[in-house]
A and B are shown apart, each in its own frame.
Chain A
Amino acid sequence: MTNGHDRSLQMKDATFNILIGGEAGQGLITVGQILSRILVRSGYFIVVTQDYQSRIRGGHNTFAIRVGIDEVTAPKKSIDLLIAFDNNTVALHQRDLSANGLIVLDEALHIESDLALKVPFKDLAQERFSNIVSLGVVGFLLGLDEELMVRTVDDFFGKKNVSLAAENRHVLSVAAEWASTHRTSSHNLAAISNTPQRLMMNGNEAIALGAVSGGLQFCSFYPMTPATSIVLNLTAHAKKMGLIVEQAEDEIAAINMAIGASFTGAPSMVATSGGGFALMVEGVSLAAMTETPVVVVVAQRPGPATGLPTRTEQGDLELVLHSGHGEFPRAIFAPGTVEECFHLTRKAFELAERYQGPMFLLTDQFLADSYRAAVPFDIETLPSVSVGTESAGSSQYTRYAITESGISPRLLPGMTENLVVADSDEHTEAGHITENLFVRKQMVEKRLRKGKGIRAEVTPPYMVGEKKPDLLLISWGSSKGAVNEAASHIRSEGEKVATLHFSQVWPLVPEQFIGYLESARKVVIVEGNAFGQMARLIRRETGFQFRNKVLRYDGLPITPEFILRELSR
């Protein structure tokens, strides 16, 4: 793809990019998480990108933190501070160092580099404190507040062990002291004037919290990366929030259990990835036919089959869109930020309960594991989601009463003397199996009428930039930040550019966006898959043909640099 511009790939910006690399099991995630929290508590914005292999020990993993005073929304390739736990990290990432870049490493690694700050780890503390040494050195280099660091380390390890806390504090100060005598603090982050209290939260944590605030009471699951941490978060809150979280024997059981719990009145969710979701698909159809609310989270990773279990992709849009045999309405949300993970999960619960059927949330490994500084949610004032209907609607209660909206009064079994009969077969209004083809037609139309309501509640695509741009970038889901950043970079070079982002990918309401597509001189869609699945979907719904696509399917998240490079081809 060429457009006459030779875009600079080295984006100049006010952010600072830290990459921690090493083998699985070396504690780099611990260092990454603590450092991220210190940064958020200091008032910075962050975007974390975790790149890891499907193994518990060894290999090569990284935890990257991009830091900024202003909101940061996307990962970046070039590195300002490389914290290397092994030689491999230096070998693999040295070439990405920025002009002012620095490598922090253990002098025992025997690496010769002008850019390296060699820290005598074994002289500074016992080996089990090496993570704290790293934090102490990095904290000094970045100019982070020492008391805040101590408090954050204490919070991470728990304050109960007083001697451990004292030891951590000591090691932090020894490490900072060493750093101060060996390096001027030339990598200080820009000072923050006010430090609003933000949450350090990743996409999956926000989904779990959003689900609970949306009324979730039951979650059944079968472990699958990158969805598992959603469920682990729910499990962590289960006792306090009165939830039941059950590990099922397989994904088929998981979705059927969720449907059973929801049928009896407990708002339910399942969370899985593509392969697990493939097993759930018949259950999706069951939820639709029995008109049972259920929220399905699909955290995408590259397929087909087992694919790349720990990497990212946006390859399951078409799977989720077409999942389940037969015809029924659905909504598919694709959050682009941690805040959207929270709010759209809530919305999925609202729609599932209101329209009595399966609703979907499509996220991916990048967003799942990406910590951000999020503005706290207004938990107390959020409306609660109501479950079932108060009244039977008529004297002779029927679960599938034909209504204009398609929504039938939903009583919960055992909660009144009315009987609730649900059937996966085509059924009468009373819920009993039928082969009356007139009734069949009525029931199809009733179920599809609910689609009107779902359509009326669509979260419209979000437009940023000039109304009639020379270049319009289209995106959906987790690439939101990268696309917006690429656009502002292009804008800074004087081009008229806009972005249009879909946080809900189904249903599409063409009137909401076709005008933008048609009035742009050039339209480019950015997707994390090889087909351009969203491009195909928009074409199917509107006839609009995308000539230009930026597609990434190597397992890595879409970055602004990637978009700029592809655009300049």
Chain B
Amino acid sequence: MITISDYVDYETAWCPGCGNFSILKAVKQALAARQLKPHEVLFVSGIGQAAKAPHYLNANVFNGLHGRSLPVATGAKLANPNLTVIVESGDGCNYGEGGNHFLAAIRRNINVTLLVHNNQVYGLTKGQASPTSAEGFVTKAQPEGVLSAPFNPIAVAVAMRTGFVARGFAGMLDHLSELIQQGINHRGLALIDVLQPCVSFNKINTFDWYKQRCNPLSPTYDPTDWEQAIKVASEWGNKIPTGIIYRNDRIPFEEHFPVLRQGPLVGRNADRAMLKKIMEGYK
């Protein structure tokens, strides 16, 4: 029986009151609920405050470069599809630096859970605007306010018919943990965008700001209805919908490869006789 304690509690380098604490807890709860053993899970992260999260739990970890977690996760999943692969990183990492990989991962539909801590600001580099910062958001780097329109990851993901698109909130722990479980369960790319306050650098989108707005979708909402999902995906304001916004059952990327039907690539030896035959073909 796997419990949350198998994922251990570690000391962190986050600010007191950071939304990351409850996201980390929701992740551990989800892993325990799914009865996943630590060695069956691989966390891949990039750089940022969110990207440190995998260091604070007990699992396999590849903490790579800023923005590049999805390609690493894709390679890892293709080499060993038996691993449960979870990407955990922030809005800057996944939607800014890694924007192209975000689009490509959606197109591939690789069976990876993509957990994006979205606090609408860069925390690690101390308070610059992120791709999801609201227009007019004032920072030291954007003293006149952000001039660009914010990136709406949910709308993009739904428009591209991502396998699983959900929004959670760090302040709704059990709801978030349930979304993560469902995301892990989903066969294909599962995006979970998690709204979270940054207590140090985002004085606008505070815990209370989110709490007043985050609003779970009604139990009768049908996430397989793409046209409805498109509408819901663009809702942002006094009410911000949370929950599974869209899902489909497109075949996951790795299942297209016949070579993976015999299991992971790992540990297989090259078929020398076949290779020799191939070489003979050059005669």
Contacts and interface: CB of A to CB of B under 8 A. Distances in A.
B266 A264 contact: yes
A213 interface: yes
B24 interface: no
A558 interface: no
A380 B272 contact: yes
A449 B209 CA distance: 53
B208 to A, nearest CB: 31
A377 B283 contact: no
A413 interface: yes
A283 B76 contact: no
Interface in A265-299: 265-266, 268, 282-283, 286, 290
A511 B266 CA distance: 40
B264 interface: yes
Contacts of B63: 421-425, 433
A422 B75 CA distance: 15
Given A260-B62, A264-B83, A265-B79, A250 B100 contact: yes
A433 B270 contact: no
B101 A379 contact: no
A262 B68 CA distance: 15
Nearest to A385: B270
Interface in B131-164: none
B246 to A, nearest CB: 22
Contacts of A257: 71-72, 74-75, 78
B68 A417 contact: no
A492 B273 CA distance: 45
B78 A218 contact: yes
Contacts of A283: 65, 68
Given A240-B274, A249-B101, A413-B60, A387 B267 contact: yes
A74 interface: no
Which of the listed residues B101, B257, B282 has the most CB atoms from chain A within 10 Å of its own CB?
A: B282
Contacts of A414: 39-40, 42, 60, 80, 82-83, 264
A209 interface: yes
Contacts of B72: 256-257, 259-260, 263
Given A243-B259, A379-B275, A433-B52, A412 B282 contact: no
Contact of B266 (A259, A265, A421, A431): A265
A214 to B, nearest CB: 9
B65 A286 contact: yes
Interface in A182-231: 197-201, 205, 209, 212-213, 215, 217-218, 220
A323 interface: no
Contacts of A238: 259
Contacts of B282: 199-201, 205
A256 B71 contact: yes
B105 to A, nearest CB: 9
Interface in B20-53: 37-40, 42, 44, 47, 52
Interface string B75-105: 1111110110000000000000000110110
A217 B79 contact: yes
Given A212-B275, A238-B259, A264 B76 contact: yes
A261 B275 contact: no
A248 interface: yes
A252 interface: yes
Contacts of A209: 275, 278-279
B103 A244 contact: no
Interface residues of A, number: 69
A260 B270 contact: no
Contacts of A256: 64-65, 68, 71-72, 75
A324 to B, nearest CB: 12
Interface residues of B, number: 58
A419 B75 contact: no
Contacts of B114: none
B76 A261 contact: yes
B59 to A, nearest CB: 6
Contact of B265 (A218, A240, A417): A218
A240 B70 CA distance: 28
A72 interface: no
Interface string B161-190: 000000000000000000000000000000
Contacts of A262: 75, 79
A98 interface: no
Contact of B80 (A265, A268, A433): A265
A7 interface: no
Given A265-B265, A414-B83, A290 B62 contact: yes
Nearest to B82: A414
A179 interface: no
Nearest to B56: A432
A376 interface: yes
A260 B272 contact: no
B55 interface: yes
Given A215-B270, A253-B68, A384-B270, A263 B62 contact: yes
Contacts of B267: 265, 387, 415
A198 B283 CA distance: 6
A217 B47 CA distance: 28
B274 A380 contact: no
A97 B42 CA distance: 64
A432 B259 CA distance: 34
A424 B52 CA distance: 11
B61 interface: yes
B191 interface: no
Interface in A419-449: 419-425, 431-433
Nearest to A259: B72
B58 interface: yes
A339 to B, nearest CB: 12
Contacts of A415: 80, 266-267
Contacts of B60: 413-414, 419-421
Contacts of A201: 282
A237 interface: yes
A242 B76 contact: no
Contacts of A213: 270, 272, 275
Given A265-B79, A379-B275, A260 B71 contact: yes
A239 B266 contact: no
A510 B6 CA distance: 54
A559 B115 CA distance: 56
Nearest to B43: A421
Closest 8 pairs between A and B when the two form their complex, measured CB to CB:
A260-B75, A265-B266, A260-B72, A256-B71, A261-B75, A257-B75, A266-B79, A413-B60
28 contacts: A197-B283, A199-B283, A205-B282, A220-B71, A239-B258, A239-B259, A242-B259, A242-B262, A246-B78, A249-B103, A253-B70, A253-B100, A258-B75, A260-B73, A265-B80, A265-B264, A290-B62, A376-B279, A379-B272, A384-B269, A412-B266, A414-B40, A419-B39, A420-B60, A421-B60, A423-B55, A423-B63, A433-B52
Interface of B: 37-40, 42, 44, 47, 52, 55, 58-65, 68, 70-80, 82-83, 100-101, 103-104, 257-260, 262, 264-276, 278-280, 282-283
Given A243-B259, A257-B75, A265-B267, 7 more contacts: A218-B265, A220-B75, A238-B259, A244-B260, A256-B68, A413-B80, A421-B60
